[in-house]
């Protein structure tokens, strides 16, 4: 992938210090010898064909090309290549007539927030914990001038490379590391998204401060996370697992989280959506055949997780950096 447009945009925006290290950071992560299957995944993407899609839709879904752009044989081969990158968690994607039916209906989350955020037209956007980049594509579709996603899970990054190859050149990049690898002096983004990440962080306040450090003054934060119902000051710290996930730390009430955001210096904080995750939004599919939400809830009481905690409720907040 040609990262030059990314380096140029970041340098022009004033993040020269990051750009100095970025090529090394990317190279190191994508050639990690500690990761057994990484080389296999990368060669799978290399073997995928460079096609010319007759259409590219990003506004209302992510749809690249049509079924009749390629032969049946080509489609079967492409489908097998994409399946070799399973499990696909975030999507859905339609590519050359292949429906990648992912574990999550990530498009539903986008629907819940799209009318509440500052218009992305011409904005430089960072999506922290972007998964395989599904929402990054929707951000590009909403007119962002450049979208940078970051995610430390390498299968996600490789899935993004696959979709990016099928789509063709575009100002969209997914970088193979977490928020902690973004250095000081990267406060160049007009909008920063953090969706589904805060509860994975052991220090939620530091996460909010890290997000703040990526925003230019006046920029917008879009924060989506698991919450609990409760008053100001209430927060759930699961004893061990939450909905079978080991790495879940802080589930605040919405008022508690608003307090944390205020304390971190965010202004105009708005709670724009609260939604109980349904079994239709997160489920096992042909493209993610493992256990999903249904298996993580109490079989006798779907209002509870199998550990006895309140079942997942997700909230979306917007805020501005004063």
Ligand X SMILES: Nc1ncnc2c1ncn2[C@@H]1O[C@H](C[S@+](CC[C@H]([NH3+])C(=O)[O-])CC(=O)[O-])[C@@H](O)[C@H]1O
Which residues are annotated binding-site positions for carboxy-S-adenosyl-L-methionine? 90, 104, 109, 129, 179-180, 195, 199, 314
Residue 210 touches ligand X, criterion: CB under 6 A: no
User: In angstroms, what CA-CA distances link 182 with 18, 26, 50, 172, 290?
Assistant: 7, 12, 31, 17, 32
47-55, 167-175, 192-200, 227-235 -> range binding ligand X (CB under 6 A): 192-200
CB of 110 to ligand X, least distance (A): 9
Residue 151 touches ligand X, criterion: CB under 6 A: yes
Cβ–Cβ < 8 Å for 193, 113: no
Beta-carbon-side half-sphere exposure of residue 299 (alpha carbons within 13 Å): 1
CB of 49 to ligand X, least distance (A): 27
Residue 200 touches ligand X, criterion: CB under 6 A: yes
User: Across the chain, how many H-helices and E-strands are there?
Assistant: 10, 17
Q: Which residues contact 322 (CB under 8 A, 6 or more apart)?
A: 217, 218, 265, 266, 267
Residue 131 touches ligand X, criterion: CB under 6 A: yes
Determine the size of the site formed for ligand X (CB under 6 A): 19
Residue 196 touches ligand X, criterion: CB under 6 A: yes
Q: Which of 53, 87, 143, 152 binds ligand X (CB under 6 A)?
A: 152
Residue 197 touches ligand X, criterion: CB under 6 A: yes
CB of 127 to ligand X, least distance (A): 7
What is the chain's length? 322
Q: Which of 126, 195, 251, 293 binds ligand X (CB under 6 A)?
A: 195
Closer residue to ligand X (CB): 53 or 245? 245
CB of 295 to ligand X, least distance (A): 15
Interaction pattern, residues 170-189, with ligand X; x per rule: CB under 6 A:
--------xxx---------
Residue 150 touches ligand X, criterion: CB under 6 A: yes
Burial of 131 per CB tally in 10 Å (0-12, 13-18, 19+): buried
Residue 129 touches ligand X, criterion: CB under 6 A: yes
Within positions 56 to 115, which residues make up the interface with ligand X, using CB under 6 A?
90, 106, 109
Q: Which of 118, 153, 170, 213 binds ligand X (CB under 6 A)?
A: 153
Phi and psi for 186 in degrees, rounded to 5?
Answer: -105, 30
Residue 128 touches ligand X, criterion: CB under 6 A: yes
Cβ–Cβ < 8 Å for 179, 207: yes
Closer residue to ligand X (CB): 90 or 212? 90
What torsion, rounded to 10 degrees, do the Cα atoms 191, 212, 265, 318 define? 30
Beta bridge partners of 69: none
Q: Which helix (H) or strand (E) element contains residue 320?
A: strand 313-321
Cβ–Cβ < 8 Å for 238, 182: no
Tokens representing 180?
Answer: 């902690």
Q: Which of 85, 130, 236, 321 binds ligand X (CB under 6 A)?
A: 130
Helix 204-212 and helix 254-263, axial crossing angle in degrees, nearest 10: 50
Residues binding ligand X (CB under 6 A): 90, 106, 109, 128-131, 150-153, 156, 178-180, 195-197, 200
């Amino acid at each position: 992938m040609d990262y030059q447009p990314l380096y140029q945009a970041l340098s022009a925006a004033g993040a020269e210090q990051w750009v100095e290290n970025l090529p090394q950071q990317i190279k190191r992560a994508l050639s990690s010898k500690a990761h057994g299957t990484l080389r296999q995944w990368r060669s799978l993407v290399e073997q995928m064909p460079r096609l010319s899609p007759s259409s590219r839709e990003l506004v209302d879904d992510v749809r690249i090309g049509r079924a009749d752009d390629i032969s049946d044989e080509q489609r079967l081969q492409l489908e097998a290549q994409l399946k070799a990158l399973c499990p696909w968690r975030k999507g859905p994607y339609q590519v050359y007539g292949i429906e990648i039916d992912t574990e999550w209906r990530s498009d539903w989350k986008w629907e819940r927030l799209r009318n509440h955020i500052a218009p992305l037209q011409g904005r430089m956007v960072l999506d922290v914990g972007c998964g395989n980049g599904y929402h990054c594509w929707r951000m590009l579709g909403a007119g962002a001038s450049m979208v940078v996603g970051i995610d430390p899970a390498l299968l996600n990054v490789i899935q993004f490379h696959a979709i990016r190859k099928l789509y063709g050149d575009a100002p969209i990049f997914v970088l193979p590391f977490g928020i902690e690898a973004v250095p000081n002096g990267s406060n160049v983004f007009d909008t920063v998204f953090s969706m589904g990440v805060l509860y994975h962080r052991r220090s939620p306040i530091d996460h909010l401060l890290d997000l703040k450090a990526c925003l230019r003054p006046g920029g917008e934060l879009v924060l989506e996370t698991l919450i609990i119902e409760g008053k100001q000051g209430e927060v759930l710290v699961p004893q061990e697992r939450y909905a079978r996930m080991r790495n879940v730390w802080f589930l605040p009430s919405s008022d508690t989280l608003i307090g944390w955001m205020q304390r971190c210096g965010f202004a105009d904080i708005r709670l724009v959506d609260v939604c109980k995750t349904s079994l239709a939004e997160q489920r096992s599919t042909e493209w993610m055949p493992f256990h999903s939400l249904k298996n993580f809830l109490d079989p006798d009481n779907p209002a509870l997780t199998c550990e006895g905690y309140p079942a997942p409720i997700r909230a979306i907040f917007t805020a501005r950096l004063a």
